Amino acid sequence: STEINAVLGRSQLPRLDANNQLRTRNLEAFLSGLDGSKFRTDFAMEGSSNYAFTLVIRDADPDYRDRVQAAMREAKVEHRRGTSGGGNELRQPYLRRLYPEEFKRYPQVDHVHFYGYYIGNYPSLAQARIKELTAFLNSI
């Protein structure tokens, strides 16, 4: 960490609780707006600081995943494949060398690796924009 990181982090502390409440409200709106037959919506949220909307395609369908990803790119929806940590870490080269088959023991993590997305959740995000986003995703 650097001194500038410390200054930025400390300057945000007074707003931390309020921002976490806004992020939780945003996530609730996001999940309640998604079509549960297409996307997973049953996340445990208690105690979480939801800095991201975790979008996980319900079924393992590579063609649908590719359509969702292409549609998000075309619509300029900022996203990251996997999750904020990069998906299933057991599939990353530094661990695959040590534990080549271990990822197979974690099928849910593997599903998120291939069918999950990270979309930023900002405290200033308007509820109307969240509704637009979920309507867009449901239309794919």
Q: Where are the domains of the chain?
A: 3-138
Residue 1 has pLDDT above 70, yes or no: no
Interval 3-38: pLDDT, tens: 999 888 898 889 899 999 999 999 999 999 999 999
Q: Which pTM does this prediction carry?
A: 0.87
- pLDDT on residue 105: 94
- pLDDT on residue 73: 98
Written as one string, the DSSP assignment of 44-102 is --TT----EEEEEBSS--HHHHHHHHHHHHHTT---EES-TT-S-GGGSHHHHTT-TTG
* Residue 127 identity: Q
Residue 46 has pLDDT above 90, yes or no: no
Report the 10 Å Cβ neighbour count for 140. Answer: 15
- pLDDT on residue 83: 79
What's domain 3-138's superfamily in CATH? Aspartate Aminotransferase, domain 1 (3.90.1150.10)
- pLDDT on residue 47: 82
Per DSSP, the three-state class of 119 is: strand
Interval 60-113: pLDDT, tens: 999 999 999 999 999 999 999 887 667 788 988 999 999 999 999 999 999 999
Edge-to-edge strand ranges of the sheet holding 80-81: 52-56, 116-120, 80-81
Q: How many residues does the chain have?
A: 140
